[in-house]
Amino acid sequence: MIEIDGLRKQYHTAGGRTVEVLKGISLTVPAGSITAVVGPSGAGKSTLAKCISLLERPSSGSIRVNGEDLSRLSGAALRRERRAIGTVFQSSALLQRKTAWENVALPLEWLGVVPGEIKRHVGQLLESVGLSDKADSYPAQLSGGQRQRVGIARALALKPSVLLADEATSGLDPQATAAILLLLKQLRQQFGLSIILITHEMDVVRSTADAVAEIRDGQLVQQGPLQQLLSSP
Ligand code: ADP
Ligand code: ADP
């Protein structure tokens, strides 16, 4: 599970001012559950996503995955622990000159996993996302939904316990969106993932999330089970 506690992020602008973009966010996502993070543009969702995926260092507060605080790490320890968090981006961010299979294999190659093990694991990952028959296709030969599946398989390659989906279905048609959301639900079940779904699409929240956290102006204004929030005024 992932536990975010008192997370703050400040930026120092060129003009010498300090802006506080995250003002003490606390959020827990248990293993096997899906929490949606919603809020208007400029609320701080992307900044939160960057802190969770350890691309940005929080100014203060902690991000614990399975009990360990990742926000204070650096160097080799940071690189090692980053594996605990898989990220899926809006545009799937695949390498265009590599096939689906090669894109999924990349994180394993960087880690120095032996070829036989890469072959076995990539095969399993492509099967998990329903793309075994597209292993040799290049991103340009795939639909938007299929590209996102490759992105999900790649995000899972290092067996993370947290999956962060940053607007992962934005830009997909309703059918492809529904299929991706169903896949995420299956994967959290299969691997006991904690899934954080950053989205501006309320249909996505309704159909998929167990809990919702709403951010406005860098603060958590509502947090709770889906039913409770949808029925509140
Ligand atoms: P959202 O994803 O909810 O639209 P962001 O996290 O992108 O929100 O941005 C939240 C606020 O933080 C915005 O007002 C934005 O201008 C500001 N911000 C984001 N990144 C930086 C940065 N590197 N330096 C200064 N301000 C930033
Ligand atoms: P093994 O050591 O045989 O890989 P594991 O229990 O680690 O055994 O996992 C079994 C299989 O399930 C793996 O080979 C992998 O394909 C898949 N798997 C396990 N955990 C995850 C995860 N968090 N994300 C993606 N795939 C996973």
Instruction: Check pLDDT > 60 for residue 233.
Output: no
Centroid of ligand 1 to alpha carbon of 26 (angstroms): 18
Ligand nearest to the CA of 188: 2
pLDDT digits (tens, 9 = 90+) for 110-139: 999 999 999 999 999 999 999 999 999 999
Q: Which two tokens stand for residue 17?
A: 């001012």
Measured CA to CA, the distance from residue 123 to residue 135 in angstroms comes to: 8
Contact 209, 36 (CB under 8 A): yes
Ligand nearest to the CA of 195: 2
Measured CA to CA, the distance from residue 209 to residue 29 in angstroms comes to: 11
- 218 Cβ inside 6 Å of ligand 1: no
**Average pLDDT score over the chain:** 92
- 152 Cβ inside 6 Å of ligand 2: no
Scored b (16 or more CB within 10 A) or e, 201-217 reads beebbeebbbbbbbbee
- 110 Cβ inside 6 Å of ligand 1: no
Residue with CA nearest ligand 1 atom 5: 44
The H or E element spanning position 200 is none
Contact 59, 18 (CB under 8 A): no
Instruction: Check pLDDT > 60 for residue 102.
Output: yes
Scored b (16 or more CB within 10 A) or e, 185-199 reads eebbeeeebbbbbbb
Model pLDDT, residue 73: 85
Pinpoint the alpha helices (H) of 129-216.
Answer: 144-155, 174-191, 202-208
pLDDT digits (tens, 9 = 90+) for 38-94: 998 999 999 999 999 888 999 999 999 988 898 888 888 888 888 999 999 887 789
Nearest atom, ligand 2, residue 124 CA: 16
Measured CA to CA, the distance from residue 98 to residue 61 in angstroms comes to: 39
Model pLDDT, residue 231: 61
